[in-house]
Chains A and B, each alone.
Chain A
């Protein structure tokens, strides 16, 4: 079936079988490989993208369901000259170890800060409950999100 999305501000489309997940659509049909395939059942969060203002596990959402939606992936965070403040803080504070969970963490963090520019530690943990870090590097991830939030509020 024909699926058209607005991905990171740009109209993109492809003709795919109806059982295609949004993750597969992004990775294999649009070559956007930032969102990762982890558990494939909606538990680990490494496939997190933002669809019409809410973060979702793209591995358990059909592309067909997202037809016509606005989708933001990690590729939409940076622009050609600058990283997103979250990406800068993650880099400066060493919030990524192996990095596999990173793109999902960044998208969940973006979703949080879009709604809540000054989150508490509890609110950050609540927002990241669906993103698992196999390296267990959560402390630095939380610190990086707080740092980015502070920088974004000051900007």
Chain B
């Protein structure tokens, strides 16, 4: 397959990238790892004539602990996250989610920011970042703005980004670093598979009671979603099997999956129930 002729730009800063995107309009696309975009360009030649490669911009790099929390640059690859001792220690569910994406070669190129911006309902990095109440920083023509990650996702392949805006970084707030969190993915295979359903949970136990429980589901709605009813139900309760199972059933009530060629609605609902329970149970068992 051949791609049509295009120009390749490598801006040195986020503001330079934003200016380029503004100047080129809809002829231009931001290039991250390219694991989705380059494939798209081969299937649909001519859709883009300028590629703006943002992966070498220093502000979009790095994994660092700051006074606000853990900051991950949007151009950081899944492989870098998986291998980062800081991430393994402080945000294990995000490492686990990163490990389930594609295969080794995909994870070497693919970036966490790219996964969020592509915004497919099954995006594997979304649920774990959602249960840790992450906030994303975006650069645009009027400077930077921050957005809670749930508001970032608007619909299938649609984020709240303006066409010229660039995702700069993701912040996992300090209060959630080290909080027990788990991620599970069900695919048709272990490698190179999209999620049929993915689930992440995070919760603490304070004086024998569940505190600040968070549940997020992927691939069962137009965007990744939280489970507010289940979370409200668990808050302040004992971490009994009965309560965890009740919350898992509430997750099924929140999920709105579809039947497609990968799995049926009924099967996806069953997965939501089982996987929500297992992620909650793992959080309880690993306090």
Contacts and interface: CB of A to CB of B under 8 A. Distances in A.
A73 to B, nearest CB: 14
B147 to A, nearest CB: 28
B238 interface: no
Interface size band for B: 20 to 34
A119 B41 CA distance: 37
B105 A45 contact: yes
Contact of B106 (A19, A111, A130): A130
Contacts of A1: 8
B192 A129 contact: yes
A1 B109 CA distance: 21
Contact of A56 (B41, B43, B51, B108): B108
Nearest to B2: A19
A40 interface: yes
A125 to B, nearest CB: 8
A55 B118 CA distance: 23
B103 interface: yes
B34 interface: yes
A108 interface: yes
A43 B6 contact: no
B285 to A, nearest CB: 22
A130 B5 contact: no
A130 B105 contact: yes
Interface string B85-114: 000000000000000001111101100000
A129 B190 contact: yes
B34 A129 contact: no
Interface residues of A, number: 28
Contacts of B108: 51, 54-56
Nearest to A41: B39
Given A18-B6, A18-B8, A130 B102 contact: yes
Contacts of A17: 5
Nearest to B43: A41
B8 A54 contact: no
Contacts of A131: 103
B4 interface: yes
Contact of B103 (A18, A21, A45): A45
28 contacts: A18-B5, A18-B6, A18-B8, A18-B51, A40-B1, A41-B1, A42-B38, A42-B39, A42-B106, A51-B108, A54-B79, A55-B104, A55-B105, A56-B109, A57-B105, A60-B39, A60-B109, A62-B8, A62-B31, A62-B53, A64-B8, A64-B10, A65-B53, A126-B104, A129-B103, A129-B191, A130-B103, A130-B104
